[in-house]
Structure 1
Amino acid sequence: MTGANRHYVLAAGGTGGHLLPAFALAAELDRRGHHVALVTDARGAQIPGKPDFLTAHVLPVGRFGKNPLGWIKGLSAVMEGRRMARALFDSFQPSAVVGFGGYPSLPALLAATSAGIPSVVHEQNAVLGRVNRLLSGRVDAIATAYPDVERLKPKFLRKVHLVGNPVRHELLDLREEDYPELTEDGLIRVLVTGGSQGARVLSEVVPDGLAMLPPALRMRLQVTQQCRPEDLEAVRERYRTHDIPAELATYFEDMAARLADAHLFIGRAGASTIAELTAVGRPAILVPLPIATDDHQAANTVEMVKAGGARMIRQERFTGKELAKQIMALADNPKGLANAAYAAWSCGRPDAVKDLADLVESFGGAEMMDVIRVGANTARGATQGVATGSASNRTSMGGRAA
């Protein structure tokens, strides 16, 4: 707490990947006694999970595709959004503006930098996004979720702060719980998801891949899988044919509880997914979305794979045979999955929202505080009195297997 109530504006694109971290920061700043407003587009204003206290201001969005003929229209929308943001800032008087990427954040950050208002961008992925890349030379600080971020110019490293990616409180509450007990003949619970709609490639490959496991391992499986509505019956029939128990649905409301019970996760490699897996400590087989901008999902897997907490399979190589091979590599001995779970857990940054709030609070108040906790392996971001040690960099997991 700073002892002073201030105003902050958060600007984010209209997807959950951009907005969920913004919602988490808004809740933390509100808890600290500050006033927070949100700038987004019409789609973002409808995303579930927005705190009730957070007022959303919808600005025009300028998009810049491959066709140059549309750039004039896009630029016009950006400039109109910038004008509207300046008007908002004149009345709201923010101490800082925080951008979370996506085109809807561009007008607000341009307005902030032109008005001399301190600005911060938060990058959720391991590749700096297009808008954050465009603004990296203008903003005062760049908060990252990974120690190494592609497309980030070396000359801007002095303003980088590793904070992590905020995750839901119900998942953070699971961080100190032990990895589910896994005996030599006990159930192995597998959780399979592919985003809000379920990835079709997972529905096509996972049932057959699990069926290729050795019988002694296959007979222990209990699968929970999210599928597209149109794939549901076909996937159910595949599991029935392979005699593998499976619970299938298009959406699970209790996803946190499902992850808590899981011994192994199979799915995409979005920033929020990685943050949740490492917060809870769950081993994973990750299949990056091949059309993700700048291949950022593949980059998101690097830290977790290097630590031994995950295996990554490119979609073009994602076959049943390869899936079975990678599962066997993780579960090659009775402690294999538990050791991988610990490796995943070690990559987690549970203080992400607190660290990001500390960084944001350091603008518009007193001199830059020394309470920003960045990872010990990223001293490159430790400037202006920023501490290089963190309570989140733990060396043990209590009763967890290692």
Structure 2
Amino acid sequence: MNITLAAGGTGGHMVPAHALAAELKRRGHGVMLVTDERGARIPALFQDVPTHILPAGRLGGGPIGWIKAASAVLAGRREAKALYREFTPDAVVGFGGYPAFPALLAASALNIPTILHEQNAVLGRVNRLLAGSADAIATSYPDVERLKPRFRRKVALVGNPVRESVSRLGTMPFPEFDETAPLKILVTGGSQGATVLGSVVPDALGMLQPKLRHRLQVVQQCRPDDIEAVRNRYAALNIPAELLTYIEDMPDKLAEAHLIIARAGASTIAELTAAGRPAILIPLPIATDDHQTVNAREMAKAGGARMIPQDEFMPEVLAAQIEAVAGDPQALSNAAERSLSVGRPHATKDLADLVERIAAGAAPLMVGRVVQPAREAPGIGVPA
């Protein structure tokens, strides 16, 4: 079959689409990507998949902004319809975000089956607009806010696809850690980076007790404008740190890490829970519908993560949390198990199964493997 994937904007949409593309190609299907210019620029994704960039407007900006957005969406819809007459997809899979909107509208106009994938625990705006016409809605969490009850018959819980090299980490032992081993910390702000992490994390690590501080090995993603200042700060603190603007070898970095300090984007949490890595999460406060806070709740409740609101995210607060987590190797190991307990490592396979069913004209099935609530165990999360 031929499958079109519609995604763009950020890594949060592109990474799961990339994972699905690899699985569909492995099964012998043809795959095409429709995206925007930002999505096409993300490194190391879709290198062997035909890619088409379509215009896509972003709703907002008052009446003039709405007119411009509508014009761009209509232009993208026309281009997508012309594209589909050449490629003839059996289904179109949208991963949310405005770049997916024209491609999905065109599919509905041509009676091509559509599947929506929602990475977050809150249904996104574009997916809310298209939920009524979609043939199936694949979710990443058992409970998704802003999803109308009448659409639940279309829902399949599949999880958020991650690369096979990440999901494989969940079958491997947690990196060895004891009272003398290096403490390896990975800091990531998602595909866009996060200035606040660069300004807070180095000072927090500098406040740690000597027995932890002297064992630190840090890998940190920084925004390009921030990287030199962060590098200078780590040098002044005499803390070894590898700084990157984009982490292309994320599976390798996750494999080595004992603790992750990160935003609470959907792909980040999917990778952490598939790999079984404990985390301290700082949800992006301006995320639409505060979806990052909602994303983090399941992992935190299970004991695999702690959340720090950004308005409370200060060096002394973070330092205290790190010492509480890393001061007891057994607690850190337990937290890794709690993280893994809410992971959905089969998400890519389950989503591909769903896409094949819809493309073949079958009704959606509840194909997701529902994870049972985590048993209470020593961890690092908020109380259940």
Normalising to structure 1: TM-score of the pair? 0.85
User: Are 2:365 and 1:353 equivalent residues in the alignment?
Assistant: no
> What is the aligned partner in structure 2 of residue 71 from structure 1?
66
Shift of 1:149: 1.4
Task: Report 1:364-379 matches (<5 A).
Answer: 364-365=359-360, 367-368=362-363, 373-376=367-370
> What is the aligned partner in structure 1 of residue 304 from structure 2?
309
| SS of corresponding position for 2:217 | strand
> What is the aligned partner in structure 2 of residue 175 from structure 1?
170
The structure-2 alpha-carbon separation of the partners of 1:147 and 1:215, relative to structure 1 and needing over 3 Å to count, comes to: same
The structure-2 alpha-carbon separation of the partners of 1:154 and 1:217, relative to structure 1 and needing over 3 Å to count, comes to: same
The structure-2 alpha-carbon separation of the partners of 1:92 and 1:231, relative to structure 1 and needing over 3 Å to count, comes to: closer
The structure-2 alpha-carbon separation of the partners of 1:52 and 1:327, relative to structure 1 and needing over 3 Å to count, comes to: closer
Question: What amino acid is aligned across from residue 346 of structure 1 in structure 2?
Answer: S
| SS of corresponding position for 2:37 | coil
Shift of 1:243: 4.5
> What is the aligned partner in structure 2 of residue 124 from structure 1?
119
Shift of 1:183: 1.3
Deviates more, 1:354-363 or 1:58-67: 58-67
| Count of equivalent residues | 375
Asked whether the 8 Å contact 2:338–2:374 carries over to 1, the reply is no
> What is the aligned partner in structure 2 of residue 398 from structure 1?
none
> What is the aligned partner in structure 2 of residue 27 from structure 1?
22
User: Are 2:199 and 1:191 equivalent residues in the alignment?
Assistant: no
Q: Which of 4, 8, 21 in structure 1 is aligned with 2:3?
A: 8
In 2, the alpha carbon distance for the partners of 1:216 and 1:346 equals: 31
| SS of corresponding position for 1:90 | helix
In 2, the alpha carbon distance for the partners of 1:243 and 1:89 equals: 56
Asked whether the 8 Å contact 1:264–1:283 carries over to 2, the reply is yes
Shift of 1:284: 0.5
In 1, the alpha carbon distance for the partners of 2:240 and 2:68 equals: 53
Asked whether the 8 Å contact 2:195–2:222 carries over to 1, the reply is yes
User: Are 2:332 and 1:337 equivalent residues in the alignment?
Assistant: yes
| SS of corresponding position for 1:161 | strand
Q: Which of 221, 224, 227 in structure 1 is aligned with 2:222?
A: 227
Superposed CA deviations along residues 13-34 of structure 1, whole A, max 9, x for unmatched, are: 2322212222221221122121
Deviates more, 1:208-217 or 1:289-298: 208-217
Question: What amino acid is aligned across from residue 140 of structure 2 in structure 1?
Answer: A
| SS of corresponding position for 1:225 | strand
Asked whether the 8 Å contact 2:8–2:40 carries over to 1, the reply is no
Asked whether the 8 Å contact 2:167–2:274 carries over to 1, the reply is yes
| SS of corresponding position for 2:359 | coil
Superposed CA deviations along residues 143-184 of structure 1, whole A, max 9, x for unmatched, are: 111222121112211111111111122222322110011112
Task: Report 1:136-285 matches (<5 A).
Answer: 136-196=131-191, 198-285=193-280
In 2, the alpha carbon distance for the partners of 1:297 and 1:219 equals: 33
> What is the aligned partner in structure 2 of residue 388 from structure 1?
none
The alignment yields a C-alpha RMSD, in angstroms, of 2.4
Asked whether the 8 Å contact 2:284–2:292 carries over to 1, the reply is yes
How many percent of aligned residue pairs carry the same amino acid? 62
The structure-2 alpha-carbon separation of the partners of 1:211 and 1:346, relative to structure 1 and needing over 3 Å to count, comes to: same
The structure-2 alpha-carbon separation of the partners of 1:224 and 1:367, relative to structure 1 and needing over 3 Å to count, comes to: closer
Shift of 1:300: 1.4
> What is the aligned partner in structure 1 of residue 380 from structure 2?
none
Superposed CA deviations along residues 85-140 of structure 1, whole A, max 9, x for unmatched, are: 22333333322111111112112212222332211100111111110111111101
Asked whether the 8 Å contact 1:23–1:49 carries over to 2, the reply is no
Q: Which structure's residues are more often helix, by fraction?
A: 2
Superposed CA deviations along residues 34-93 of structure 1, whole A, max 9, x for unmatched, are: 122222223333433343442222222122213112222322222232233223333333
In 2, the alpha carbon distance for the partners of 1:33 and 1:252 equals: 30
- List alignment gaps of at least 5 residues for structure 1: 1-5, 379-392, 396-402
| SS of corresponding position for 1:13 | coil
> What is the aligned partner in structure 2 of residue 383 from structure 1?
none
